[in-house]
Structure 1
């Protein structure tokens, strides 16, 4: 990581103006891309004043965008895939079987468990939310469960992928940054993940008791009948989303897996559902709509297509450009060093690591929240005799999972574009994202208590 050439005064000015620009856009409901654009312009002017050239800054932005090109492709593919899964009958099939067999269950708790399992196999929160999340939200609308509450459970389960999935790009970035193996990291992370998962599941179980599904009425029967009249329903259609999970688990890159599933979905739409080819192309780019005698079904089966992803791709472009400048100029390095300079204890180091990772994720993105504390704090952990696996655990328990709670973060924006539900609505119910940092901080202080007891025992023995 490069040392910063920027004075401390200008560093604080850049960070302050960046946050003001972004938060102002959210409050005034201005397209967030303009907030990032203003931040980039302001930061560039101040960085040029501190010795950086325009060419250097443009190369930093170019490098960051090139490294994330697969993310942009994936966004567009997911926009297309959601439309095709509706046209091909995949989502209607999920709704059909969900309506028939999910009655009488604690739907909120079942959703959390299901999405957490799927996310580990898929290795991506984005894929999980757009894969099973859309269908689950459709069921929630029919069953009368508030969609923002259910989305909280979906997001909680989906972001377990970035904590422990062996095929998660973010988790592998953590492993690469800290030079540790998957097995080493997993054994450490499970110490906090298991209690986090248990507490989160318990909370969803008790919240979900209020929304247990016991519905037997003509509306549900009419809904099922409408699906049957308009689509060929078969459990074999569930092989499409299952294929993405299987391919991801086998190591196929997400872009390729989604592309293959998209092609298969187009074939199924035309061959099985007898959809018109021109209508399919329109659905891919402009989104899917259906007109049946069921208003509920018409409301559920709606997607935005590739076009709906343009706005989020622009925002992510702005976020990546800004975070690339922060990272490559070493802008945040002096601040992190000052915060960690006088740390003397295990629990203080973990607490500050967590806050640094959360702050960096909030200011820029998850990758910066992983790379900067990972590279800058390794020596400090070694100095205090703490294993790097604890550093990995702290980062994944804090900065990695906090992303969907930050309204201007790419994760939150993606969720909003896909579901239409703003961050402020679902965030209070994203239980795991709150419980995870709390548990890791508790563990740090339990270590202090345990160490204190061991020291006292040694002192007593030596007397």
Structure 2
């Protein structure tokens, strides 16, 4: 078992080394590559065909995520170029009051994710603007990112349009509404606790008696307000979320957002000659205000490349771990350990988290545990809805908390805040994991005592 877990040990040690000993610009991709090399070299049977097959499977799994990331980069650049992003920030300033800023962010993101059925769409569009609002009113962006990610995953988890919700439901043969209803109780408790946590954190961070950031005396606010709100520029936002409601693929939604934003800029400025360069290299704002320019600049395909390299490094590491049998050996040991209903539920959650760590893909973290434990669950008479909820409680919820997972990389890239930085403030995800595991242990102890 220790030998099977050695790749994770190499990964942890490599991350610590490249972050704190030999400090480099991109520690996580390097650590994943090095850990994969060590794991590869210690195997006696190193047939390349195993590695090639596993790499191909994992790469095909994350390819849609990598593709969507490029669209998001172009979307952010086009929205900054056309003024859509500035308009969204202006609207946020009008409606989001600093006294309840963090709870409001979580609620707005939750509603948007529930409507669109996609945490990615919400973070890549609305989330970018909300982070901009946080910077304008001098709110810590790490906390704001935590609140946005919390809202995104609460809404995504309970949306009948969500791909992960539908996947967990179909894998366990549980009707979608039955699956959502079964998740409702614990998920709402966790989100309620998160909102309360954000409220108290907001009180700690924001003291209106000491300084009033939310006045037009602020240079940044003055610059933002001087442009005037152009409500018509919210049409690209409506197109993105509207197309999601009609179950259009996220690529189509993002493409609508890009083309409509480019259309607006062409309508106002004539033929947008520099738009192709902007979509590739990102938008460079020259408003005259350094802070405003900082969050209105960025996006583009080039800005996404470090994230793509991170995901590819994770695919390499996952290919070694899966292709050379490390993962299979761990699953065998887990199955031997799982004796009763509660052990199987814990094993399902633990395996989902493990797969999020090693494969960089949340879909595999749902599919593989469902296949591995479904027959075992049937033997023990465990309701299918318990397995489907366990898959979501770990596979979906932990995916944005891992820097090299496609979800974590996406959230970090979209919001401009590293996963390590916003991790302590993703209250919903953290509270929900603790609550779900605690409830299983409580039920297990009750069963033993009875």
Give the TM-score of the pair, scaled to structure 1. 0.86
Instruction: Determine if the alignment matches structure 1 residue 107 to structure 2 residue 101.
Output: yes
Task: Tell me which residue corresponds to 2:291.
Answer: 296
Task: Tell me which residue corresponds to 1:3.
Answer: none
Q: Within 1, Cα distance between the matches of 2:61 and 2:409?
A: 20
Task: Tell me which residue corresponds to 1:351.
Answer: 346
Which residue of the other structure, out of 408, 414, 422, is the alignment partner of 2:418? Answer: 422
Instruction: Determine if the alignment matches structure 1 residue 399 to structure 2 residue 395.
Output: yes
Task: Tell me which residue corresponds to 1:317.
Answer: 312
Q: Tell me the CA shift for residue 445 of structure 1.
A: 4.2
Q: Within 1, Cα distance between the matches of 2:398 and 2:54?
A: 26
Instruction: Determine if the alignment matches structure 1 residue 120 to structure 2 residue 114.
Output: yes
Could you say what the CA RMSD is over the residues aligned between the two structures, in angstroms? 2.8
Give structure 1 stretches of 5+ with no counterpart: 1-7, 456-463
Q: Tell me the CA shift for residue 10 of structure 1.
A: 5.3
8 Å contact kept, 1:323–1:368: no
In 2 relative to 1, CA 162–225 (structure 1 residues): closer, same or farther, beyond 3 Å? closer
Secondary structure of the equivalent of 2:203?
helix
Which residue of the other structure, out of 395, 406, 410, is the alignment partner of 1:410? Answer: 406
Q: Within 2, Cα distance between the matches of 1:410 and 1:192?
A: 26
Instruction: Determine if the alignment matches structure 1 residue 167 to structure 2 residue 164.
Output: no
- Pairing 1:303-342 to 2, within 5 Å after superposition: 303-327=298-322, 330-342=325-337
Q: Within 2, Cα distance between the matches of 1:368 and 1:418?
A: 23
Task: Tell me which residue corresponds to 1:268.
Answer: 264
8 Å contact kept, 2:54–2:323: yes
Task: Tell me which residue corresponds to 1:235.
Answer: 231
Instruction: Determine if the alignment matches structure 1 residue 37 to structure 2 residue 33.
Output: yes
- Pairing 1:182-221 to 2, within 5 Å after superposition: 182-210=176-204, 211=206, 217-220=215-218
Instruction: Determine if the alignment matches structure 1 residue 59 to structure 2 residue 53.
Output: yes
Which residue of the other structure, out of 223, 228, 231, is the alignment partner of 1:226? Answer: 223
Deviations 1:94-118 (A, max 9, x none): 2222223333651111100010111
Q: Within 1, Cα distance between the matches of 2:103 and 2:401?
A: 20
Q: Tell me the CA shift for residue 342 of structure 1.
A: 4.0
- Pairing 1:362-401 to 2, within 5 Å after superposition: 362-365=357-360, 366-401=362-397
Q: Tell me the CA shift for residue 303 of structure 1.
A: 1.1
Give the aligned length: 442
Q: Within 1, Cα distance between the matches of 2:247 and 2:320?
A: 32
User: Highest Rg: 1 or 2?
Assistant: 1
Q: Within 2, Cα distance between the matches of 1:340 and 1:166?
A: 32
Q: Within 2, Cα distance between the matches of 1:11 and 1:243?
A: 48
Give the TM-score of the pair, scaled to structure 2. 0.88
Q: Within 2, Cα distance between the matches of 1:425 and 1:317?
A: 22
Secondary structure of the equivalent of 1:389?
helix
Q: Tell me the CA shift for residue 229 of structure 1.
A: 5.2
Give structure 2 stretches of 5+ with no counterpart: none
Q: Within 2, Cα distance between the matches of 1:416 and 1:53?
A: 36
Secondary structure of the equivalent of 1:310?
helix
Q: Tell me the CA shift for residue 403 of structure 1.
A: 2.5
8 Å contact kept, 1:116–1:160: yes
Task: Tell me which residue corresponds to 2:9.
Answer: 16
Q: Within 2, Cα distance between the matches of 1:271 and 1:53?
A: 58
Q: Tell me the CA shift for residue 270 of structure 1.
A: 1.8
Q: Tell me the CA shift for residue 80 of structure 1.
A: 0.8
Task: Tell me which residue corresponds to 1:148.
Answer: 142
Q: Within 2, Cα distance between the matches of 1:183 and 1:305?
A: 38
In 2 relative to 1, CA 235–247 (structure 1 residues): closer, same or farther, beyond 3 Å? same
